[in-house]
Structure 1
């Protein structure tokens, strides 16, 4: 990492830099500092009203913030060093639930500015290490229509017959036909509260999708293949091209706006300027036409009674 150009993190419109104290140690040894403006007491008090409520008590000030239990260890740090340094620097006390128990982290102190500073540092820690968590859910357009599955299985059979002598071409490289889908975006939802929040935001988006689709399913065509690498020899994923039969870009608009909606809510990290819609690991002919009528919040590594991914929530186009 270029020490003169540390990574920047945006939290609620505020920009922070991340400074690595000792790269050879655990991730918990990372330190975080506020970038601009300077950390004056007046500024800290002003900022406290923008993110979390800090209440005044008989003993000073108190603030409780929701943090998924899987991230507690990053706030505690190796042998508790991160929490001790945080408490020492901000003159506060940080109470963290026991590992595995969901709850709130409570910050108390005699100074409102100190509590506000501690809250800010914890926010930066949480945001940074959240980005390192594997995704747990993804927004998907299901492609597990019977016609598409039939076209996919036909393609699979043809490839295995004609290309079985080619390196790496074997049955295991093909997607499970019951789980064919378009991935709109991925999310790391670290507890049930975050899953519920994601479902609520998805429901908020339903009226917009119905305006775009005019309250009808989208008629789609799955035909042809593309690959992501510039060098065909380095390709490890083929994806089918999916188009709206009337030639419109309505599916792309829905996907792009959906990602924007979740990014603005802090539930998704933007990876591309434009969503690249593709059905993973399948083929090079006409797979068929079908009606798309739903967006699902799908759970990774799961299977429902139909063979598709378990849905945590969904909306329909009609």
Structure 2
């Protein structure tokens, strides 16, 4: 039987409960011209000398490897990961590092609560449906909403489209906030209006429902309403201010450097039943006034500020009496007055003839005193 060979025993030693093999090695002690003297420790050779080094031991090329790692680190620090923003095929959206798509959209502050919904449910549903994150500004911040997604460009597109539709629908159902007017606060007009007012209040021929002083417009605020508009934030105000500059030039071309003279005479009512009247107004006539009013209102509709509710032609009028003033002051749901005798006896009332010099944008709820004209937020100069 062939003899069986066994590996030589190397011996072991223990450190902290772990067994390690004991490896023999030689150490050079001295050297002379003829021979070298070695001192040998232990009595067994290293039978595993050809095996690769263990991971816990330093490999032969460790210094070179360290230099290579250090150099790679320097290159990485010199060229950090790109976080620059780049445009996409959709001009509304940008991409960061090819991994995150972002966009912003302006939402008027008065619509943010509606966008959130009760306990943010509406906004959460939008985020879940579009796989986007929507960050809305705080109440005191004048910032756009920020949209981001790490899924795809299409997700941000869907989110943007839905918010744009939401804002458009909200604006369509919102109440008007401002009006565009030709001021009629000249001295002659104010004097004649006060005469008309006293005739109505003092005459016994007129119905008692017409005797409330709150029915009458303040003489300092007499004007011709050309259009009513919806403005919801500073962005809208800036846009319409810029639009006024453009439209001003267009109106001056219509006038062809001629003055716009208004003749205000005669009264009429807005509704059909003279016994239940909401508004009595003075009639207005004059060359180019109707053309200017129509052009202005049409341009504001085209720009999205005004609603096309009254057709193509503006109804020129200077409001004299308005039942809404009484309803608001006395907190009534509805109020009307009987104006049959007023329309018969005072139908040819004359208020004045004067040159119209400016068109102005005014808020419906003006903070200025009722003894002065409304706040003028933007002005077109006609002369």
TM-score category (smaller protein): 0.7 to 0.9
1:263 to 276, 281, 301: 301
The equivalences for 1:189-200 within 5 A come to: 189-200=231-242
Distance change >3 Å, CA 215–CA 304, structure 1 → 2 = farther
Distance change >3 Å, CA 233–CA 306, structure 1 → 2 = closer
1:234 to 251, 256, 276: 276
The equivalences for 1:262-281 within 5 A come to: 262-273=300-311, 274-281=313-320
Counterpart position of 1:93: 133
* CA-CA distance at 1:300 after TM superposition: 2.3
* CA-CA distance at 1:97 after TM superposition: 0.9
Distance in 1 between the 2:109 and 2:173 partners?
15
Distance in 2 between the 1:306 and 1:230 partners?
32
Match status 1:287 vs 2:326:
no
Distance in 2 between the 1:195 and 1:152 partners?
33
* CA-CA distance at 1:215 after TM superposition: 2.0
* CA-CA distance at 1:85 after TM superposition: 0.9
Counterpart position of 2:372: 307
Distance change >3 Å, CA 224–CA 305, structure 1 → 2 = closer
Distance in 2 between the 1:148 and 1:165 partners?
23
Distance in 1 between the 2:370 and 2:207 partners?
35
Match status 1:54 vs 2:93:
yes
Match status 1:114 vs 2:141:
no
Counterpart position of 2:221: 179
Distance in 2 between the 1:147 and 1:101 partners?
46
1:254 to 279, 292, 307: 292
Is the contact made by 1:139 and 1:186 (CA closer than 8 Å) also made in structure 2? yes
Distance change >3 Å, CA 165–CA 286, structure 1 → 2 = closer
Normalising by structure 2, what TM-score? 0.65
What is the number of residues matched between the two proteins?
A: 265
* CA-CA distance at 1:232 after TM superposition: 1.6
Counterpart position of 2:63: none
Match status 1:66 vs 2:106:
yes
Q: Which is higher, the Rg of structure 1 or of structure 2? A: 2
Counterpart position of 1:222: 264
Is the contact made by 1:70 and 1:100 (CA closer than 8 Å) also made in structure 2? no
Gaps of 5+ in 2: 1-88, 322-345
Normalising by structure 1, what TM-score? 0.78
Distance change >3 Å, CA 270–CA 184, structure 1 → 2 = same
Counterpart position of 1:15: none
* CA-CA distance at 1:193 after TM superposition: 2.2
Gaps of 5+ in 1: 1-47
Distance in 2 between the 1:163 and 1:191 partners?
49
* CA-CA distance at 1:308 after TM superposition: 0.2
* CA-CA distance at 1:117 after TM superposition: 1.2
Counterpart position of 2:195: 154
